[in-house]
Structure 1
C-alpha cells in the first residue's frame, strides 16, 4: 500500500547494497527537504520520544494528509523525508492502515538504527497516525 514515492526509496535501497551508502542516501533525502519555518517549531509540533529535536506540522487538503517536518539531526531529518514519502498525500482514512513497521522493514532500517533512533521513528509514526485520526 506504499506510495510511489516510497517505492522509489525502496528501489534506491535495493540498488545501494552497502548500508553506509543507504545511510548517506537517507541523509541526502533529508537535505533535499525544505526546512520547516521556525514559526512552526513550537511545542505543539514537537514529537516527544525522540533523542533529537523533531517537529511535524500536519495539514489537510482535499481530504488528504500532508505534513512538513524537521529535525536538528541529519539522519533524523532523512527519516522524516522517508516518512514523508510513505504518508504525504494519502487520504486521511488510509494513513492509519499503513503498516509502517513492515514498509520501513523493507528498507532494513530496523537492523541499522540505534534503539534511540528506532524509538524516535516509532514516535514519529504514532504522531502521524494520531494527527490523521484527529483530522478525520
Structure 2
C-alpha cells in the first residue's frame, strides 16, 4: 500500500532505464521540497543513524488510528533530500494505521533503491522509516 504520489514516482521510474536518470530524478524531487525552517532543525527532529544530517518534522492531523499522517523533512545532502521526498510521497496523506501497514522495504524495492544506494544511505533510509513508524505508533 502506498500513496498516489508514490505510485506516480514508481511509474516514472519504470520509464527511466538508467540508474543515473533515476538518481537525477530523486535529486529533482528533493529540490522541489520546501525548506524546513531553521527552528525545526533541532535535536528532537534530527534522525539518528544517517550519515548526512536529516530532520523530520511530523504534522499529524487528528488523533488515533484514523489521524492523517504527514511530515516535512530536510537534509544537507542532495540525494538524501530526494530520499526524504520519496518517503514523503510514500507516507503523506495516509492514516496512521495505514502508515504502520506500509512495507517500506518492498515499496522502495520497486524503485530499485535497495540495489543502488550505498550501505550508509540504506541505513539512513531505514532510520527515517523507523522514525516515521515511531511517530505513527505514538499517535495511536
Q: Deviations over 1:13-66 (max 9, x none)?
A: 001100000000000000000000110000000000000000000011141011
The aligned counterpart of 2:17 is: 17
Distance 2:89 2:75 in 1: 16
Q: For 1:6, what is the secondary structure of its paired residue? A: helix
TM-score (norm 2): 0.96
TM-score (norm 1): 0.98
RMSD of aligned Cα (Å): 0.6
Match status 1:82 vs 2:93:
no
The aligned counterpart of 1:3 is: 3
Match status 1:68 vs 2:72:
yes
How does 1:1-136 map onto structure 2 within 5 Å?
A: 1-62=1-62, 63-136=67-140
Alpha-carbon shift at residue 135 of structure 1 (Å):
1.2
Unaligned runs of 5+ residues in structure 1 are: none
Q: For 2:55, what is the secondary structure of its paired residue? A: strand
Alpha-carbon shift at residue 93 of structure 1 (Å):
1.2
Alpha-carbon shift at residue 5 of structure 1 (Å):
0.5
Q: For 2:89, what is the secondary structure of its paired residue? A: helix
Unaligned runs of 5+ residues in structure 2 are: none
Q: Deviations over 1:100-132 (max 9, x none)?
A: 000000000011000000000000000000001
Distance 2:71 2:133 in 1: 12
Q: For 2:70, what is the secondary structure of its paired residue? A: strand
Q: For 2:58, what is the secondary structure of its paired residue? A: strand
Q: How many residues align?
A: 136
